[in-house]
């Protein structure tokens, strides 16, 4: 009588069970990995959304409307005028804070309205509208306003205009004459790290003179 291979079916069943367990383990490992990737992607996407829409500062900062020149810009402007005067250069400020309505009026000049085009910015698109920019010009010997960048009234062989620009930059101003697309030679501004989009959303640098923004 041939001995029955009693063990064989048992072994085979055990192997099947092992295989099933291994499959189960692999599948739960895959699920776990998938879950991890999902969490990672969602996290990155969420962070992108938050940073793109500046949701974090918006939640903590009430929306405001700026109504005057920023005090620090004002004080640096006064220093600039004084420092230029010490060098024999008479600086005049031709524009500082402009409301969005004033900016719109200025934008229409040379377009729908008579005159020369003086700006490419509509209301809300200029740092002037947030009290962070000033425009300057020089006075000639007769006290007349001039936009002559060659003028050298203190006779030191350097353009008075560019001397003022150097002083302003040292005080922390950004000069419109350095811009790539539209060079704005009489223009100085301080951003305090704020983009135009943030300012348009009703945010303002600390110290700004503001009133609450109507919804
Ligand atoms: Zn300007």
Query: Does residue 79 lie in a domain region?
Result: yes
Query: Does residue 15 lie in a domain region?
Result: yes
Q: Are residues 75 and 134 in the same domain?
A: yes
Those residues whose beta carbon sits under 5 angstroms from the ion ligand 1 are: 135, 187
> Residue 212 C-alpha to ligand 1 middle, in angstroms?
25
Q: Are residues 69 and 104 in the same domain?
A: yes
Q: Are residues 195 and 129 in the same domain?
A: yes
Q: Does residue 205 contact residue 132 with C-beta atoms inside 8 Å?
A: yes
Q: What is the DSSP string of 56-94?
A: HHHHHS--EEE-S--HHHHHHHHHHHHHHHHTT--EEEE
Q: What is the mean pLDDT of the chain?
A: 87
pLDDT above 60: residue 4: no
Look up the pTM and report it.
0.72
pLDDT band at 49 (very low <50, low <70, confident <90, very high): low
Predicted pLDDT of residue 56: 46
Compute the distance between CA of residue 141 and CA of residue 153 in angstroms, rounded to an integer. 8
Query: Does residue 3 lie in a domain region?
Result: no
pLDDT digits (tens, 9 = 90+) for 152-166: 999 999 999 999 999
Torsion of CA 140, 145, 149, 155, to 10 degrees: 20
**In the predicted model, what is the mean pLDDT of residues 198-205?**
96
> Residue 92 C-alpha to ligand 1 middle, in angstroms?
13
Q: Are residues 199 and 177 in the same domain?
A: yes
In this structure, the strands spanning 187-189 and 174-175 are antiparallel
Predicted pLDDT of residue 145: 98
**C-alpha closest to that of 70 among 210, 211, 213, 214:** 210
pLDDT above 80: residue 3: no
pLDDT above 80: residue 15: no
Strand-pairing partners, residue 133, are 189
């Amino acid at each position: 009588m041939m001995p029955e291979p009693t063990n064989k079916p048992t072994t085979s069943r055990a192997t099947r069970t092992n295989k099933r367990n291994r499959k189960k383990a692999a599948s739960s490992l895959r699920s776990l990995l998938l879950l991890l990737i999902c969490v990672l992607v969602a996290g990155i996407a969420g962070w992108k959304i938050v940073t793109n829409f500046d949701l974090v500062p918006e939640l903590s900062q009430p929306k405001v409307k700026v109504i005057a020149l920023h005090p620090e810009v004002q004080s640096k402007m006064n220093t600039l005028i004084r420092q230029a005067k010490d060098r024999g250069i008479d600086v005049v400020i031709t524009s500082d804070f402009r409301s969005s309505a004033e900016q719109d009026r200025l934008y229409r000049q040379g377009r729908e309205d008579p005159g020369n085009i003086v700006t490419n910015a509509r209301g809300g698109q200029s740092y002037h509208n947030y009290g962070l920019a000033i425009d300057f010009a020089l006075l000639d010997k007769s006290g007349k306003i001039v936009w002559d960048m060659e003028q050298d009234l203190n006779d030191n062989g350097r353009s008075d205009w560019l001397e003022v620009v150097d002083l302003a930059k040292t005080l922390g101003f950004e000069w419109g004459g350095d811009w790539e697309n539209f060079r704005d030679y009489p223009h100085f501004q301080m951003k305090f790290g704020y983009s135009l989009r943030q300012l348009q959303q009703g945010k303002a640098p600390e110290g700004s003179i503001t009133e609450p923004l109507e919804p």
